[in-house]
Amino acid sequence: MRLLVFSARDYDRRYLDLANHARSQPHAIDYTDAHLSADTAALAAGYEAVCVFVNDRLDADVLARLHRGGTRLLLLRCAGFNQLDVPAAIAQGLQIARVPAYSPHAVAEHAVALLLSLNRHLHRAFNRTRENDFRLDGLEGFDLYGKTVGVIGAGRIGAAFAGIMLGFGCRVCIHDPLPLPADLLARGATATTLPDLLAASDVISLHCPLTPATHHVIDRRALSQMRAGVTLINTSRGGLLDTRAVIAALKAGRIGALGLDVYEQEEQLFFDDHSSSVVTDDVLQRLLTFPNVVVTGHQGFFTREALATIAETTLRNLDDYASGQLALSPNRLPLN
């Protein structure tokens, strides 16, 4: 099967080639570092399958162009699918598969890394000690032990994050429309409403998907309900936060610290090197000026284990499509 991989970086090629060469019948894979958009969709002409990542554009126009070029299968090498117009893809007769669970631990551990970096000011200590400045002023943190951690969304990643926080000796409260995993309840986690979680938590971490219902779930009103000095972590999707409202809360001192791995307008910036150009996104640039904000460029998934699983599952989805088995796969979209 001919596959074109969009937004391909060196690590994508490495892990996909490794998984492909291990197959008895390898696929014919080509790579382009171009992001998928209306301007680049023509590159896929003649490829029955295309593979895309989180910031590729998959709107109705792009999907129609792909279909005209002969594409019939979309392979998302990610868990989230908010970038895809699913009804438009179905209308075009495209089949869709994703990688729903490659390593929830990778993202959960990255959320913890952001939390610890912010709380113990590691990002500032790193710069200080490199300048032989060993003062501690301004680096005071707080014990996580005994603090209340609110988790919004306890699916695979949120549950892994909640489990780690329970191990730190935190009180963990969770908001999720679905029943909570029994093991978390047995370990002392509690289910709560969103307003109660906002009011009670010293730390809040977002792990729900971006949908119309969760867009800007953290807005000015939600921020006003939080404890003053709250630490807010978002490794899920940028659109969950109203970034301008968050900046206002940082300026007012209501947010004590903010850790982001995702950003509302990230598709213009993330995964590429802009260090030699003028970045015109004033909202992100303002965020980067705060001493109590750490931003990483959507690297929560970026571990060896996750990359290997993403590559293997993506090619297994392609195998399933080639053998007519994709309809039976739990990785196919839409969900039902």
Binding site for ligand NAI (CB under 6 A): 79-80, 101, 104, 107, 152-158, 175-178, 207-210, 213-214, 235-237, 261-262, 298, 300-301
In the bound complex, what is the minimum distance in angstroms from residue 261's beta carbon to ligand NAI? 5
Would you tell me how many other CB atoms lie within 10 Å of the CB of residue 8?
19
Beta bridge partners of 29: 3
For ligand NAI, the nearest residue by Cβ is 155
Nearer to ligand NAI, 101 or 245 (CB): 101
The HSE-up count of residue 39 (CA atoms within 13 Å, CB side) is 2
DSSP string, 19-52: HHHTSSS--EEEE--SPPSTTTGGGGTT-SEEEE
Nearer to ligand NAI, 178 or 278 (CB): 178
Q: What is d(CA 294, CA 261) in angstroms, rounded to the nearest whole number?
A: 8
The conformational region for residue 138 under phi > 0 = left, psi -120 to 50 = alpha, else beta, is left
Q: Is 312 a catalytic residue?
A: no
Nearer to ligand NAI, 239 or 256 (CB): 239
Contacts of 258 (CB under 8 A, 6+ apart): 118, 231, 232, 233, 246, 250, 287, 290, 292, 293, 294
In the bound complex, what is the minimum distance in angstroms from residue 148's beta carbon to ligand NAI? 17
Q: What is d(CA 168, CA 133) in angstroms, rounded to the nearest whole number?
A: 30
In the bound complex, what is the minimum distance in angstroms from residue 28's beta carbon to ligand NAI? 28
Count Cβ neighbours within 10 Å for each residue of 28-61 and write b for 16 or more, e otherwise: ebebeeebbbeebbebbeebbbbbbbbbbbbeee
Q: Is 237 a catalytic residue?
A: yes
57, 237, 312, 332: the catalytic one is 237
Nearer to ligand NAI, 124 or 216 (CB): 216
Q: What is d(CA 73, CA 257) in angstroms, rounded to the nearest whole number?
A: 42
In the bound complex, what is the minimum distance in angstroms from residue 101's beta carbon to ligand NAI? 6
Nearer to ligand NAI, 44 or 74 (CB): 74
C-alpha separations of 132 from 68, 128, 135, 292 in Å? 61, 6, 9, 22
Contacts of 174 (CB under 8 A, 6+ apart): 150, 151, 152, 154, 158, 162, 180, 184, 189, 190, 191, 192, 197
As a whole number of angstroms, the longest Cα–Cα distance in the chain is: 64
Nearer to ligand NAI, 176 or 264 (CB): 176
109, 266, 312, 332: the catalytic one is 266
Nearer to ligand NAI, 20 or 236 (CB): 236
In the bound complex, what is the minimum distance in angstroms from residue 13's beta carbon to ligand NAI? 19
In the bound complex, what is the minimum distance in angstroms from residue 155's beta carbon to ligand NAI? 2
Catalytic residues: 237, 266
